[in-house]
Structure 1
Amino acid sequence: MHITVEVHAIESPRMIINSDAPDIDSLLLESTVINAKISGIIADITIQQKYVYKGSSILDGALLMPGDPSITIHGCTVKIGNQTIKAEMKDREKVREIFDKAKKKFDPFFLTINNPDAIQMHLSNIQPGSIIYTEIHYTEMIKPSFGLYTISLPKPIQAHYLKVLDYVPLHRDTYADTSFEAVKDYPLGTLQVHAFIAKGGKLSFLKADECSIQQTDQEASCTYSVADAAQSKQISLSYRFADTEPQANLMLYEEGKEKFFLLSVNPPSIAEAHKESLGHEYIIVCDSASLQDNSANEFWKAFSKGLREQDKLNILHFGPENTRLDEESQVCTKDIISRAGVYLQRIHSTEGLEPIQLIDVLQQIQLKPLHSDMASRSIIILTNGFMDANTDVYDAITKQLQDANVFTLAVGKEINERFFSAVHRLTMTDNFILKGSQEELNKEAIRFADYIQKPSLTKLKVGFDGFDVNSLEPASYPDLFSDRPVLLFGKYKGNPKGRIVITGFHGNKEFVQTIDITLLKPLASTKGLQYLWAKQRASILIDYNVYDRNNDRVKEITKLGMKYGFQTPYTSFGITGSDYNKSKNVIALMYQPLNLNGGTLVSNASGQQLARTSVVEVEAACNYADAAAHDEEGLISVESIMTERVLDNTIIEKVRSTIEQQLSGMQECYAEALKKFRHLQGNVQLLFIFNEEGSLTEISLADSELNIEEVEQCMIESAKRISLPPMIQGMAQISFLLEVL
């Protein structure tokens, strides 16, 4: 089977110079050394560069690391003469204060970049003849494709200088990155690459373009050097653990008293559809949002083609449409497949039904054990993510992973990225978003069907015998599918000893692999394992804090960010080694997005999800030391509903219940507002207008006690995503009460 892997190379750091005269203010790159320590799904990388300033005037600019959703930057160091400047993780509020004070003393130079992952270190007062040493440290997540891992290392880039512009920005921190360009005739200096790949057992395939490869039982190494980096090619490394059978690999790392491990169960190199005689049970869980366009239909057309007679199927609704295809999962006869197709093509009547939440549906599934004639169970959730989600939903999904696979399919023009990114972290599944043109819908639906219907190991179990492990992530793990490994990582105590036993079924064949831990050693090349664990742990804590914040989580998130050097809602890069009061010193200041977002995670693949926190502005203070003082949470409820036409109270209550199950969007608006407006509460009345068929046509603000336009507009936009049954005609004024708890 031939697999084409698209490799995305991370951009190299570069110097941005506040000058449009590169022939006079010449800052030349003399050398670049890249050290990469690769351990399975994560690479720990440092890039060291040497610049020589040959100009005659005092220079200023910025060291820029563009960033990427797949990487996490852990630190930045600059050495000029006897001065060493470090970017280290600090309390976010303190960094903000330092930044604001520094900007009052001098005018730092920064670019305005639409990149939430980028960092910049301002450097000014660089004297003629200076030699500048820079070092960037980051980790990169590597997403495998059918068991094949590929990483491309950055190529050096010349310093960028200001183009001759027809305009001058009002401030030096408002230059766009497009205002600068590399000086093409500048030399790139020498390039050295040192890469180490931990094996953790068997490595069935390794390819390193342009590199000289050496191998031992524990790891492989790759070295490359060239006198002129301008002549170098892209350095890419590809490797595979498993061959024709699934394979488990174990990697160990020790840092002082802390000891980390990564167990990866890797799919075989050839992806095959179901080969076993046992069936698979598929339970589709959907809400009304998934049935309002062609998304569910496209999903079903692709998915139903792979169903077999021994498979079982059921469809369950949550939200107002508390209905189901059948009471129990049914064997996939032609009749059931036909009924399921019809079921997914229409919106169901809610007359006489009690709304049901996703958590309740998941708990109902949990109560029904998998039949012995089934190889596995997969739960497929179709939704736009705008629901009454909370930490109980996350807990329920985690419990399901003990006995079932959980997949989410994002549908609709707008999706709740916060919900999907959190679920993807818990399940470690790939991203699937059903939206766009007919061709795009069809392509993504086929990708999902192909993904889910090619399991490599079912009924997967991992047993630790004599290996003292703790702090496991994830808490539960699913089956092994052909396009993703199953990852289990955490910490261990004592000397590495004992064994790990992995069991399951590869088709009809029983699979057993035993790893003798005494044969493996902790390696320096597995340094990235500590960051893999810490980022996953912090990300899940942040996800839980969005819906159920407590100060213990805030403290642990902050501690993890500080210790392992990554940004969170409470930590950010600050400078040490720069004294603004010394005239001959280089002045340095860090700039990075202080208002981090987590929106791009939904478009990232499973490997990339772990690369960065779902950094949202959590309902918490930005400094955990002040969390208790700013511990303000709010709740939105439906206070009253007044309609133009007289309606029965049972209908009014059903509408109220339906709306209250979909208030997560408004709740987010309120949570964000409380960070800016202390003690904000009051009544907001929205006017809903329905046509004769009961379809919502317009929403506007009727009255508000808040008098804060951005909050009111956010609530209106969130209200537009609420799905209501066709029960009302004409106007309805709905009053929402915002209360501080």
Structure 2
Amino acid sequence: MQSSRLMPALFTHWAICSLLLLTLSLSLGTARADELASNASLILHHPDGDVDALVLDADIDLQVQGLLADMTLEQTFRNTTDQWLEGSYLFPLPPDATVRGLKMVVGERTIIAEIQPREEAKIAYKAASDAGQVASLVEQQRPNLFTMNLANIGPGESIKVTMDIMLPVNVTEQQLQLRLPTTLTPRFTNAATPDAQSVVSSFTQPEYTRGPRLNVSLTIAPLTDYASVSSATHTLEASDKGLQISDAPMDQDLIIEWPAQYAQDTSVHAFVASHDNERYVQLLVNPPASIDDETPTPRELIVIVDKSGSMAGVSMRAAKEALHYAIDGLTDDDYLNIVAFDDRHYPMFTASRQVDQNVKKDARRFTDNLTADGGTEMLSALSFALSADTDVDADAQRLRQIVFVTDGSVGYEEELLKHIKNQLGNSRLFTVGIGPSPNTWFLEKAAEAGRGVSVSILDEHDVASAITDLLNGLVNPVITDIAVQYPNGHGEIYPRPLPDLYAERPGMWVAKISAEVDQLVITGKHHGERWRQTVQLPATATDTDTQKDRVLQASAPAIAMQWTRRKIDTLMDEQRYSADKELNKHLITQLAMKAGLVTDYTSFVAIEEQPIRPIEEQLTQQQVANLIPKGNSMMNIALPQGSAGADTLRWISLLLGLTALSLFGLARTRNQ
């Protein structure tokens, strides 16, 4: 009798708890933005009201010389509290950026940082911090993600930290481009994420707190007409020297474009420079025009689309538009499948199906029903797509094209890259970076591992040209199996191996060459035929006196630095795909120490000699909050990274509640 009374009571308790959880999850949707913003903005409570604990402003001076840019990034940390602070700031840089110098200004003193092995730099910084000395430390967490730590910022004081950075200019479709990230999309972490805390940042939205602000000044040599310079993301203003951007919120990538100044009808451009008694050649290789076949080659298209919480807002809308555009471009000879993912993957079909009107209708419905929510577990979706049956039509020669649409907001990039490399087979993987601040390094590396290319889409208005290029012009590379020979000497060229070239996608390579090298021979395969190009090297820039050559010679140290950076990147790639986790570590450290570069194994540290914080004063740790990317809505819908999304929690709560009520009713019926 007691047992019969106990069961309904237990079911009642289960139902009430489940429905309370459902009520809490429903309120989460409206309360989540306020909660996360409050937590992310690092608010301290003072008698005079709430103030930002640590405020950061960034000033960037960009000086473009040819195909390289020198960037001076000045970060000013202002302590608006009455406490001594140690500040930290997780910030992005372009994936091919080279951090080659650091200095710190304390009062009227300037302290030049030293490059040290990473662990030694960390120990030195910690000792200085504990001793009350002003100290700064810059570490690389990912190739495009860095941490600035700054210890002993006095109450009401400001400290400036200036970094010297070198950037290659992107060359695409006869345009030159600089793309500078100013914030990051929150990274999803899981058990596979190494040092997960290193990629975790506080986030806020501009309406809740001021957030980091940006000022930019820009000059481009040898460009004289700045009317041709444009930006799809920011307002450019004329200045005495060139162009400027004033007081912009750091909530999206900064994209600047201008026309290429080189001759577009020349296959190879070679720029020779000398630095420290070494010769370098920078190569810009334009692939031959692609041959448009009258009959398009049938293909199997598998689209992997990210529907995790970080895609909420503008990124999800752009991804849907891209899918619709891809679906519309398919013919009856093609095969199609779509694989969506968040915490797990959701294939539209168990295997690719031949396209007809019904398949297109199903694909459009599948696309329209996608909602952004949950974690970012990419691996299962990639595994499904890469291991799918490729023999969909044995009678047709079919191209297998996997298009990966994502913002790349993950912290376990290394595991994903190795999986792509190992499982690719005969497929080619192309990546579409979605949104105002994607993880560009991962997207480019994933495409490289997949023998494809990467394109970017800012929002739903930027879809047509990118998807058209991707699905039509970029189906096959124009030149493959590329190699470079030095008939009269020797050289060392990077990246290595040289990647395939696609239509309207020039390759930019850099080599160190011996003194006697006066020509290069570039070979490859073009539409199955042998392709060969002989390049006569021009005189070193010091032997001439044209404006163009003076610009080149001024960038000679940067070209030498670019070569070192590319060599280090190649050595890191060898390590990435090797079973030896420390392969090349010693050589990478040697190269970075000699050149003065921040890498996985080296960091910059600057320390003021005299302690300034009284030993009895406590040092409080604070983190500068990054702004959530413009147009991103994840703070309104998602739980913290690594958790299921709010919608998932609601469904689970509702299911548990209804199940408990059903069992409660059943138990009462049996007892009557």
Larger relative helix fraction: 2
| Greater relative CO, 1 or 2 (CA 8 Å, sep 6+) | 2
TM-score normalised by structure 1 residue count: 0.45
TM-score normalised by structure 2 residue count: 0.49
